[in-house]
Amino acid sequence: MIRWLQAGKTSFPPTANALSEPNGLLAAGGDLSPERLLVAYSSGIFPWFEEGQPILWWAPDPRAILLPKDVKVSRSLSKTMRNGRFEVSVDQAFPQVIEACAAPRGEAGTWITSSMAAAYIRLNQLGHAHSVEIWKDEALAGGLYGVAIGRVFFGESMFSRTRDASKVALVWLARQIKPTGLRLIDCQLPSSHLESMGSRMISRLKFESLLAEYCREAPAASVEARSRQSVTWPERAAEAG
């Protein structure tokens, strides 16, 4: 059985108690306060639920991750980055990125409820959540957002309004902010989109051991790209066909 959490208390049961079916369901209830969210992420736990459901907390095994050094840039993506006339910024349009990520896609609904959006906007205001925005012709073309703790970026969602825009955001996050010393991007769950860019699966135990090390490390520098800058990428970035 899963444990029901009380509002105002930030503790979670051990992730070893998570269900195998559905994979990783650990607890329900509680709240989306900044304090609880930061405890959850640093423990390898994240919220994921739909409108009308209680808050559900997950710690799946195995876990999808992306190491910045492993990011793959296909020839077509490299060409897009060189010729797409994209600009990139950080935290210039966090609410707009959340809104775009929450938009229904096809017949699927959205798990980014109004309460979720408000919680992450609050984390952004406190400096714990960040967005990477990709602009084209002065319009928001794509982006992603997530939570940063130490040298770990916990990815939450991404979107594209222009071909490859979300991929450009992920590549920029993984490779263009090396001064911050980013060590790990949490992808939470596997997808063909992320696998094509170099994500892989590791055990929950291994993931938590990495968090124990990397979340304690202070970033080498803060992420600074609040003013838009052009996205550029050299020819040698083409690593896959």
Average pLDDT estimate for 89-107: 89
* pLDDT tens per residue across span 196-212: 999 999 999 999 999 99
Same domain, 132 and 17: no
Judge if 78 and 34 occupy the same domain: no
Q: Number of folded domains in the chain?
A: 2
Domain boundary residue among 25, 42, 60? 60
Give me the pLDDT at residue 107, please.
55
What confidence tens digit (pLDDT) does each residue in 28-64 have? 999 999 999 999 999 999 999 998 899 999 999 999 9
Question: Is the peptide bond between 22 and the residue preceding it cis, with omega within 30 degrees of 0?
Answer: yes
SS3 state at 53: coil
Q: How far apart are CA 192 and CA 90, in angstroms?
A: 26
Predicted pLDDT at 110: 75
Q: φ, ψ for residue 7 (rounded to 5)?
A: -60, 140
Cα separations (Å) of 204 from 41, 45, 176, 207?
13, 10, 28, 5
Judgement on whether residues 19 and 125 belong to the same structural domain of the protein:
no
Provide DSSP, 82-104: HHS--EEEESSSHHHHHHHHHS-
Mean pLDDT of 178-194: 87
Q: Are residues 44 and 25 in the same domain?
A: yes
User: Among the three residues 60, 78, 97, which one is the final residue of a domain in this structure?
Assistant: 60
Query: Which residues form the domain of 173?
Result: 64-237
CATH code, domain carrying 45: 3.30.70.3550
Residue 221: the pLDDT is 56
Sheet strand arrangement including 152-160: 200-202, 63-66, 184-188, 152-160, 139-149, 129-136, 87-90, 229-230
- What's the number of CA atoms in the CB half-sphere (13 Å) around residue 104? 6
pLDDT of 231: 72
What is the per-residue pLDDT across 56-79, written as a single tens digit (0 to 9) for each?
Answer: 999 999 999 999 989 999 888 888
Q: Rounded mean pLDDT of 188-202?
A: 94
The domain boundary residue, chosen from 60, 76, 97? 60
pLDDT in tens, 1-28: 899 998 778 999 999 999 999 999 999 9
